[in-house]
Structure 1
Amino acid sequence: MTATATARDLSAIARPSGGFAMLAVDQREALRAMFAEHQSGPVTDQQITDFKIETVRALTPHASAVLLERQFALEPVLAADAIAPGCGLIAAVDELIGDDKEFVSRVEIDPAVSPAWVSSVGGVALKLLVLWRPDEDPAPRVEMTRRFVAMAREAGLISILEPVSRTSRDGSPWTSAEWNDGVFAAARELGGLGADLYKAEVPLHGEGDEAAVRRGCAELTDTIGSPWVVLSSGVPHELFPRAVRLACEEGASGFLAGRAVWRQVVGAGDIPAALREHAVPRLRELGEIVDAAVAGR
Structure 2
Amino acid sequence: MLNNSHLAQLTRPSGAFAMLAIDQREALRNMIAAHRGTPVTDEQVRAFKLQAARTLTPFSSAVLIDKQFALDEAIDQGAVSPGCALIAAADRFESAHGELVGRTHIDPAVDPAGYAARGVRALKLLVIFRPDENPEPRVSMVETFIRQCRNAGLISIIEPLSRRPLNGAGVDLDAGIIQTAAELGSLGADLYKSEVPHHGLASEGEVRNACARLTELISSPWVVLSSGVPEPLFPKAVQWACAEGASGFLAGRAVWASCLGSPDIAHSLSTDAVDRLKRLCEIVDETVVA
Q: TM-score normalised by the shorter chain: which range applies?
A: over 0.9
- Which ranges of structure 2 fall in alignment gaps of 5 or more residues? none
After superposition, what is the alpha-carbon deviation per residue over 1:44-98, rounded to whole angstroms, capped at 9, x for unaligned? 0000000000000000000000000010010111222110011000000000011
3-state DSSP class of the match of 1:116?
A: helix
Q: Distance in 2 between matches of 1:27 and 1:162?
A: 13
Percent of pairs identical after alignment? 54
After superposition, what is the alpha-carbon deviation per residue over 1:7-53, rounded to whole angstroms, capped at 9, x for unaligned? 35201110000000000000000001101111122100000000000
- For residue 208 of structure 1, report the CA deviation from its aligned partner: 2.2
Distance verdict in 2 for CA 1:100–1:222, change over 3 Å: closer
Q: What residue in structure 1 maps to residue 33 of structure 2?
A: 36
Deviates more, 1:43-52 or 1:5-14: 5-14
Query: 1:1-297 residue pairs with structure 2 within 5 A?
Result: 7-8=3-4, 9-99=6-96, 101-170=98-167, 172=168, 174-175=170-171, 178-295=172-289, 297=290
Contact (CA 8 Å) 2:2, 2:155: kept in 1 or not? no
- For residue 174 of structure 1, report the CA deviation from its aligned partner: 4.3
Q: Distance in 1 between matches of 2:283 and 2:261?
A: 28
3-state DSSP class of the match of 2:96?
A: coil
Q: Distance in 1 between matches of 2:170 and 2:254?
A: 24
Contact (CA 8 Å) 1:6, 1:225: kept in 2 or not? no
Give the aligned CA root-mean-square deviation in angstroms. 1.2
Contact (CA 8 Å) 1:21, 1:65: kept in 2 or not? yes
Distance verdict in 2 for CA 1:202–1:100, change over 3 Å: closer
What is the letter of the counterpart of residue 3 of structure 2?
Answer: A
3-state DSSP class of the match of 1:266?
A: helix
3-state DSSP class of the match of 1:10?
A: helix
TM-score normalized with structure 2 length = 0.97
How many residues end up aligned between the 2 structures?
A: 289
TM-score normalized with structure 1 length = 0.95
Work out which structure has the larger RCO, using CA pairs closer than 8 Å and 6 or more positions apart in sequence. 1
